[in-house]
Structure 1
Amino acid sequence: MLHLLLPLLLLISNIGRSQSAIVESLPGFPGDLPFKLETGYVGVGELEEVQLFYYFIESERSPKDDPLLLWLTGGPGCSALSGLLFEIGPLEFDYSNSSGTRPVFKSNPYSWTKIANIIFVDAPVGTGFSYATTWTAYHSNDTSSAAQIYEFLRKWLMSHPKFLTNPLYITGDSYSGVVVPIIVKEVYDGNEAGREPQMNLVGYVLGNPVTCEAKDINQRIPFGHKTALISDELYESTKSDCNGDYVNVDPTNGACLTDLEMVSRCLEKIFLAQILEPICSTLSPNHTRLKWSRSMLEKNIIDGISEPQQSRPWCRSYNYLYAYIWANDRTVQEALHIREGTKPEWIRCNYSISYTKDVLNSAVYHRYLSKTSLRALIYSGDHDLAIPYIGTLDWIRSLNLTLVGAWSPWFVEGQVSGYSILYSENSKYDLTFTTIKGGGHTAPEYKPRECFAMVDRWFSYYPL
């Protein structure tokens, strides 16, 4: 491995520090793109050894008036392209017309770019098309990654000054729930200290957010009970024997271990991201991650999308294969202006990055931000077993904010789309929490229409 990477590092050490380019067309989409797409790199850190790649899409409505969003996909290590293509971006794969060798796009009618300018960033370093020019620069953690993204945002805005007056929101989902509030604090403190450029920070948005991994995972058992995956008797026994702690278990507590073994039997065949969808155990030993290999194409796994249900159940993970095929195509990388030789292969979620989780609970940052005049939107798919909404509600309640609006339904086209609750602090800071009915991890991938209606109303200061 060492002999392969050394020439790569020598090559990329001589590549320019920053660049951006307008992309007018992309392989797989017929004709010119109906939106303005810019891609590029911004160098951050010492000697700009970290090169963060981004996709910037201008609002399709009013770029000069609409909000500017900085979007981070979770992981850590999941590419921004995943959020762009599978969640909130203007393009999505046209599965009925795509094949294993020719992915085809269509427009996403529920893209958040219809109402906002969005910078999708591949972060932390090693994610997507982002890379480093030295070995040491590949090592990062929650706080260093947040600092690098803050530096990225400062430099990006200085090179795009026309967006300095747009309302700025720091946004993301899943593991970015740890990093986003740190970045928000960095931006807020930088503004207070008079650091240039001054940013028009208004708030932040988080979907299905990790906040404290241990506590979030601990809530899987109560959530499993609420959703009838675990019986009343087993839940009560497990809760009593384990004293409500299902993560840090005493190895000598035999009763607790026995209960947890029975709980595991109840949950092991459930798809963590959306409890109603099939689990794809044939693709990877780890059910929550799709391990990519080009040999998959030889096995015609792509064909599983169109095969009859009786021969192979449809699985959401199959959809992601198109992203691997598309993003690793040389003509695609040329169209995106990817620096040749900087990444051996694009990976949707790179879990091999050198990353240390040094912030064990980001609720402390939310508590700090609750003393400001910012606004926050936190949403959760209510069928997400990976990061259950009840755990998110727990840390929100721990902030001891004032309840302003009671738990109540909100609607899209006359149907209940979720339930929201509103909190405030000193009539300045406000936090809206909402569920997305039927949503998984993360909600926009499963319920794009409802999530679009949610953010459209919230950015406009309307009730959900």
Structure 2
Amino acid sequence: MAPPKPAPDQQTKKLQVYLTPVLLRAILLLLLSDTIVPQSIIKTLPGFPGDLPFELETGYIGVGERDEVQLFYYFLESERNPRDDPLILWMAGGPGCSSLFSFFYEIGPLKFNFTLNPSNSGESKPTLELNPYSWTKVANIIFIDQPAGSGFSYAKKWEAYNSSDTRSASLTYDFLRKWLVDHPNFLNNPLYICGISYIGIVVPIVVQEIYNGNEAGKEPRMKIKGYILFNPLTNRNSDINSRIPYAHRVALLSDELYESAKSNCQGVYIAVDPDNRLCASDLEVVNECVEKIYFDQILEPICLTTISKPNLLRSYRSSLEENPIDIIWSLPRLSEPWCRDNTYKAAAVWANDKAVQNALHIREGTIREWVRCNKSIQYSFGLSETVSYTFNVPSSVDYHRNLTNKKCRALIAREMDTFFKSDRRK
């Protein structure tokens, strides 16, 4: 029989009690950080003269089983006070749209210079200039391409490209945990999760995951304060159905047509009974009334021709989320009036330039072509899934409701121009 082990003295006991949680936390953080790929600090970018006057970092973080999903990000420190200013995680819509678009056209520190290079359409390399309205003036921002197949993000196996609303949210939460482990200086910054368009479904789920993780004691704890959504999809049925009343309120539809459609369709304008001919006839007239309206900015002109005419009720996808290969572009000329969509070609030209990809430290061979939105993922009304994405959360309302029980701020804005500034040529 083995002799009994001697009892540890009081000092040893105290040391064991103190070290156990510390060691466990250290081991957890080590495991989380083991798969983080070293980031790259970007000093210059093609198209911008001289050194960048702000801190830009790019990198990949592996998430999912065996890190098979590699999510690409752009991180910019606040130009005011990086230590104390909020930390924002920004996600684009689609799903499957690249956050690089938001970087250049919405809230980032750079934009394409259409004064110096009016076309910026492919005849010459796009040029860049500073955006005086950048959110980086007051906040640290992580722009993330998610899920795999968006922007420069990719998966190591084809099966890992399959995603859904809940899986996208879960992997985004894992991404944020690993990113914060690798950037511990930002653990105490107020954290906000932000996004636009379809991501209105996913963002509240991510926020809920963060609160759940904090309450479960997961490390690192995040100083979550709230979330911000712009023109978000909230409920796939009611959001689309509300387009008819909205079009009437902004005078795109006459009172007579609206009242007729409302009566004949009984206020339900999607999944209409094919035998209801009066309703179908009214909706056909509705689409004729708005087919030349630019859905994203109704006071601006359409300056492109799509393969199919816009349909107010059929597709949630906006012209912001079209891929260049699906558009018949007419080259802009100085004599033509300014139109927003002609400016969007610059992003694809710039992002597909090999010099740009080298500057951003994009892994060679991981993508065939950068596109603004990946159509194998992107949502179109009426679908339950695409080739690579399952839309398994029909509404984010319950998540919003649950978050009202937390100390969580929320801003949901329907008018982008209230927050985003963009140049307009007269």
Q: TM-score range by the shorter chain?
A: 0.7 to 0.9
Matches of 2:234 and 2:37, distance apart in 1: 33
Instruction: Number of aligned residue pairs: give it.
Output: 367
Aligned in 2, Cα 1:94/1:283: closer, same or farther, shift over 3 Å?
A: farther
Q: 1:218 aligns with which of 211, 225, 241?
A: 241
Q: 1:142 aligns with which of 162, 165, 173?
A: 165
**2:27 is equivalent to residue 51 of structure 1:** no
Q: 2:376 aligns with which of 347, 352, 356?
A: 352
Deviations 1:142-200 (CA, angstroms, capped at 9, x unpaired):
00000000000000000000100000001111111000000000001100111000000
Assess if the C-alpha contact under 8 Å between 1:17 and 1:51 holds in 2: no
The CA deviation at 1:31 is: 0.6
Matches of 1:90 and 1:183, distance apart in 2: 25
Assess if the C-alpha contact under 8 Å between 1:212 and 1:360 holds in 2: yes
1:273 is matched with: 296
**2:288 is equivalent to residue 254 of structure 1:** no
Assess if the C-alpha contact under 8 Å between 1:284 and 1:291 holds in 2: no
Deviations 1:367-408 (CA, angstroms, capped at 9, x unpaired):
000111111111111xxxxxxxxxxxxxxxxxxxxxxxxxxx
Opposite residue 324 of structure 1, the aligned amino acid is A
**2:74 is equivalent to residue 40 of structure 1:** no
| Structure 1 vs Structure 2 CA RMSD | 2.0
Deviations 1:343-386 (CA, angstroms, capped at 9, x unpaired):
000001112231111100001100000111111111111xxxxx
The CA deviation at 1:278 is: 1.3
2:362 is matched with: 338
**2:403 is equivalent to residue 380 of structure 1:** no
**2:261 is equivalent to residue 238 of structure 1:** yes
**2:390 is equivalent to residue 367 of structure 1:** no
Matches of 2:300 and 2:244, distance apart in 1: 19
TM-score (norm 2): 0.83
Aligned in 2, Cα 1:93/1:444: closer, same or farther, shift over 3 Å?
A: same
Matches of 2:212 and 2:135, distance apart in 1: 28
* Aligned sequence identity (%): 56
TM-score (norm 1): 0.76
1:85 is matched with: 104
Aligned in 2, Cα 1:218/1:294: closer, same or farther, shift over 3 Å?
A: closer
2:183 is matched with: 160
Q: Using CA pairs under 8 Å that are at least 6 residues apart, name the structure with larger relative contact order, 1 or 2.
A: 2
**2:298 is equivalent to residue 322 of structure 1:** no
Q: 1:291 aligns with which of 319, 323, 330?
A: 323
Matches of 1:107 and 1:283, distance apart in 2: 32
2:145 is matched with: 122
User: Which runs of 5 or more residues in structure 1 are unaligned?
Assistant: 1-15, 382-435, 449-464
2:384 is matched with: none
More strand by share: 1
Matches of 1:19 and 1:341, distance apart in 2: 19
Assess if the C-alpha contact under 8 Å between 1:203 and 1:375 holds in 2: yes
Q: Which has the larger radius of gyration?
A: 2
Opposite residue 356 of structure 2, the aligned amino acid is V
**2:340 is equivalent to residue 308 of structure 1:** no
Assess if the C-alpha contact under 8 Å between 2:61 and 2:178 holds in 1: yes
**2:84 is equivalent to residue 60 of structure 1:** no
Deviations 1:4-54 (CA, angstroms, capped at 9, x unpaired):
xxxxxxxxxxxx962311001000001100100000000000000000000
Opposite residue 322 of structure 1, the aligned amino acid is A
Matches of 1:82 and 1:244, distance apart in 2: 36
SS in 1 for 2:371: coil
The CA deviation at 1:281 is: 3.9
The CA deviation at 1:285 is: 3.4
1:29 is matched with: 48
Deviations 1:266-295 (CA, angstroms, capped at 9, x unpaired):
111111111111123425436544432499
The CA deviation at 1:263 is: 1.0
1:410 is matched with: none
Assess if the C-alpha contact under 8 Å between 1:174 and 1:207 holds in 2: yes
Matches of 1:168 and 1:185, distance apart in 2: 13
Assess if the C-alpha contact under 8 Å between 2:86 and 2:190 holds in 1: yes
